[in-house]
Amino acid sequence: MRIASGGATDVGRVRANNEDCFGIVAPMGLFVLSDGMGGAAHGEVASALAVETVIKHCQEAENNPAAPVYGETRAGWNDRTKRLFSAVYLANKRIFESAEAHPEQKGMGATLTAAWINGPRLSIAHVGDSRAYLLRGGNLQQLTSDHSMVAEQVRRGIMTLAEAEQSEIQSVLLRALGSEPQVEIDTEEQELFARDVLLLCSDGLTRMVTEPEIAGALQSEPDAEKAAAKLVERANDAGGADNITVLVIRMESEYQGWFSWLRRWRKSANGNGLAGGD
């Protein structure tokens, strides 16, 4: 399969600075998104450190498969899932140590959602309330579980989903990178198919735009970069109460990719007067 991807981030309509950060390493099929926390305690430092650490660790492993793996991985995971888990484990350690070494950073932390695609196999590692979704056949499925107070209360039946959406404690997280020396990391594997769409996003999108609206935007805009920008725009139109970051990854068959290239070539050729004639 061929991967087409795009990302967009925006400060929103309320916040003074953008504490979100994302990274796309297209040749590796690696996508990382982090939402920093801490405000004056340098949340933007935490998110940037998280994304940088994950990408660097995975790149080093590509060049040296014998590079050390950190944390307790499971025997059943494939190599990339183990490496992604290791990268997030290391990101947590580095954010925690940075906050310990710099008093002005005390209290900083970050969410992180990372996806690594290898052919039809998807590896996901996740901490916090940024999300990964899969759109397949018009159905939008949340792949990650929010590590937040309200999400836990919904899971336990203490609070309804409608109440959670209006709760004043939506931002209270039960897990985040950098809060403790070690963190529990949710890790899973999925099989992908042609025409699947993967979405990674910070809560600045999901608090402002409903899931049906998200699904509709992904279905109506086939260009990944434009779809990401459209979702950011919708979140801002709805109030933009937080920073907004969106990554859209489309799985296309090789045939579709070749046909799209051919159409672009023909259009270019016609435009330059290179097609037709005697």
Instruction: Work out the mean pLDDT of the chain and round it to a whole number.
Output: 90
- What ranges do the domains of the chain cover? 2-271
Which pLDDT value is given to residue 158? 75
pLDDT value at position 255?
Answer: 61
**Distance, CA of 9 to CA of 256 (rounded, Å):** 28
pTM: 0.88
Instruction: Record the tokens describing residue 156, joined without a space.
Output: 């336990």
Distances (CA, A) of 22 to 79, 177, 238: 23, 15, 22
2-271 architecture in CATH? 4-Layer Sandwich (3.60)
Measured torsion, CA atoms of residues 235, 237, 242, 248, in degrees rounded to the nearest 10: 20
Of 110-114, 202-206, 268-272, the poorest mean pLDDT is in: 268-272
Provide mean pLDDT across the span 144-150. 86
pLDDT tens per residue across span 38-73:
876 799 999 999 999 999 999 999 999 999 999 999
